[in-house]
Amino acid sequence: MTTPSAPIPNSNTASSSPTISTSSVFNFEDADVTLRSSNGVDFHVHRWPLSKASPFFAALFSLPQAYSTTVGQRITCDMSEDSQTTELLLAFCYPRSLCEEPLLDDITDVERALTLAKKFDLNFVIRPAERALERIAATTPDLVYAMAWRYELSRIVRLAALASLEHPFLPHATTSSFAGVPAEALVQLWGYRMTRVAEAIKPLKDVGLPITWIRQTDIVIGPRLSPEGNTCSCAHVTLSFKDKPEGVSIKGWWWAFVCELVDQLDTFPRDTITLNTRGVLRRAMSIAGDCCVCRDSMAVDALNLTANLLQKEAYRRIKEIPYETPF
C-alpha cells in the first residue's frame, strides 16, 4: 500500500490557498472533509466512501495528528490533483447509487484514472481503464501501447501491439505520451511487426505443408475436362488438404492467388493486415479466363471464399504470436 504523504490535511483555513469555487457535484451538507484541488475547487465530501474505497485514505484518516481539531470542524485536505482529476477520484470512490461510473472517453481520462489507481491504491479502477484502452486501441494503438507499458498492463500491451498492425509504426512517437517508455518496448514492437508476423504467415504459402484452413471440396473451380470435351490448359500444382491429405491436383492460378495474398502480409513495412484482394483477384481471373474450361467455372466464388478463409487464418496465427513483457 502507498504510504500516505499527500493530500495534506489542513484545519487552518487561513493559511490555505483561496477557494475559487465549490464543486456542483460533490457538495454535501453533511460532509466531514473538504478536498481542495490544486486549482482551488472545494469538494465537500465524506470520509467513509474514501476510506472504504482506498487504503490510502483509510490510513490517512486514521492518523490522529491529522484530526486534532475541535468538534464539528471540517478538515480540509489540499490535493495535488486538479479539479477534473479530483472529481474523477470521487466518482470512482462513491457508490453507484450516488453517481454513475465515470466515462473514460479519451486517453487523457484513462491516464488520470490509472494515475489515481496507482497513487490511491484503487485497484478496482484498473478494469474500467483497461476496457477504455481496448476501445481506444482501435484508433491510436501506439498511444495505448505506450500507456499500457508505463502502467504495466501486459494484456493491453499485447492487444495494442496486435491493433498496431493496422496502422503505421508509432505515428505519435515524438509526443509526451512516450516519455518514460523504455527503448526495449519500442524495439520489441518493431521486431514483432517486422519478423514475428512474417514467421507466423510464411507457412501459409509453403507447398510442402498441408492446407488446414480450407477444404479441397470448397474450391469449386472447374475440372480438367469440360462437359463439351475441352481440356483445361491451366498449370496445376499438387497440394494436400485436411480433407485430401494424400494430395490433389489444384489449378495453379488458385495457388498463385493464395501466395500473392500471403505476400501482402509478408512484406515490410506494412500498415495493415487486412488483405486487399482487388488486384489479386483480377489477375487470377484473367489467367482463368484464358482457359476454355476455367472461364466458365465458379472461379470468382471460390477465390472470394479463399480470401475470406485465408484472412481468418492469418489473423488467427498472428493473434497467437506470444508477446512477452517484463511485468
Last residue of a domain, one of 96, 118, 141: 96
Whole-number pLDDT of residue 12: 44
Residue 72 corresponds to which amino acid?
G
What total number of domains does the chain contain?
3
pLDDT for the residue 84: 95
Which of 124, 123, 125, 145 is closest to 134 using CA atoms? 145
Within a domain: residue 195?
A: no
What percent of the chain has a predicted confidence (pLDDT) above 70?
88
Does 28 reside within a domain? yes
Domain coverage including residue 312:
203-319
In a domain, 194, yes or no: no
Q: Say if residue 111 is in the same domain as residue 84.
A: no
Tell whether 46 and 123 lie within a shared domain: no
CB 303 within 8 A of CB 284: yes
pLDDT digits (tens, 9 = 90+) for 46-60: 999 999 999 999 999
Same domain assignment for residues 246 and 269: yes
How far is it, in rounded angstroms, from Cα 262 to Cα 314? 8
Ranges in the chain, pLDDT < 70: 1-20, 65-72, 222-229, 296-297
User: 221 with 261, same domain?
Assistant: yes
Instruction: Give yes or no for a cis peptide into 322 (omega within 30° of 0).
Output: no
- Domain identity same for 91 and 142: no
pLDDT score at 297: 66
Three-class HEC string of the chain: CCCCCCCEEECCHHHCCCCCEEEEEEECCCCCEEEECCCCEEEEECHHHHHHHCHHHHHHHCCHHHHCCCCCCCEEEECCCCHHHHHHHHHHHCCCCCCCCCCCCCHHHHHHHHHHHHHCCCHHHHHHHHHHHHHHCCCCHHHHHHHHHHCCCHHHHHHHHHHHHHCCCCCCCCCHHHCCCCHHHHHHHHHHHHHHHHHHHHHHHCCCCCECCCCHHHCCCCCCECCCCCECCCCEEEEEECCEEEEEEEEHHHHHHHHHHHHHHCCCCCCCCCCCCHHHHHHHHHHHHCCCCHHHCCHHHHHHHHHHHHHHHHHHHHHCCCCCCCC
CATH of residue 59: 3.30.710
Q: Is residue 293 one of the residues assigned to a domain?
A: yes
Within a domain: 59: yes
**Residue 62 cell numbers, joined:** 486514521
**Are 209 and 315 members of one domain?**
yes
Burial of 50 (0-12, 13-18, 19+ CB in 10 A): buried
Give a yes or no: residue 154 inside a domain.
yes
Same domain, 38 and 73: yes
Query: Which domain-ending residue is among 65, 96, 127?
Result: 96
Strand bridging mode 75-78 / 8-10: antiparallel
pLDDT value at residue 36:
95
Distance between CA 23 and CA 83 in Å, rounded? 8
Instruction: Specify whether 274 is located in the same domain as 296.
Output: yes
Say yes or no: 78 and 126 in one domain.
no
Q: How many CB atoms lie within 10 A of CB 106?
A: 12
Q: Let me know whether 303 and 211 are in one domain.
A: yes
Domain match, 218 and 147 both: no
Q: What is the pLDDT of residues 190-244, one digit of tens each?
A: 999 999 999 999 999 999 999 999 999 888 776 655 556 678 888 999 999 999 9
Q: Are residues 132 and 236 in the same domain?
A: no
The answer to whether residue 189 is domain-embedded is: no
- Name 237's bridge partners: 250
Final residue of a domain: which of 53, 77, 96? 96
